[in-house]
Amino acid sequence: MLAYKKDDVSFEELSSLPQTEKTAINSLFDRDQSLRRAQTVVDWLEANARDDMADIVNVYGDCLLGWENTHHSLLADAGHSLLVTELDPDAKTRTSRPLHDFDEKDEQRLIRY
């Protein structure tokens, strides 16, 4: 059961509010300063996350294949290199072999994000 404070909105007051969701939310924001502050923080966090995702897309957006350099090396060497022999997420750990140097750098950049 919810406990209401003295300044909480009663059911009668809620039913007298405008019927559209947008106007109801706007009136709630008008009355509740802590809600406005919380929404400001959420908006700021979302904007920062959007900026970070834009950076990742700019770095990796043109790549159609993960570990592209390793893939090309495997095709060129026909499996005779010291690189991983399969392209799956566990290949590095399972085979104890490295990726191509460029792909290793990409992995490290991706881990930072």
Average pLDDT over residues 1-23: 60
- Alpha helices in 5-100, H assignment, sequence order: 11-15, 21-31, 33-60, 68-77, 91-95
How far apart are alpha carbons 14 and 65 in whole angstroms? 53
Q: What is the pTM of this model?
A: 0.42
99 by Cβ neighbours in 10 Å (0-12 / 13-18 / 19+) ranks as buried
Summarised one tens digit per residue, pLDDT across range 33-76 is 999 999 999 999 998 888 777 666 655 555 556 788 888 888 88
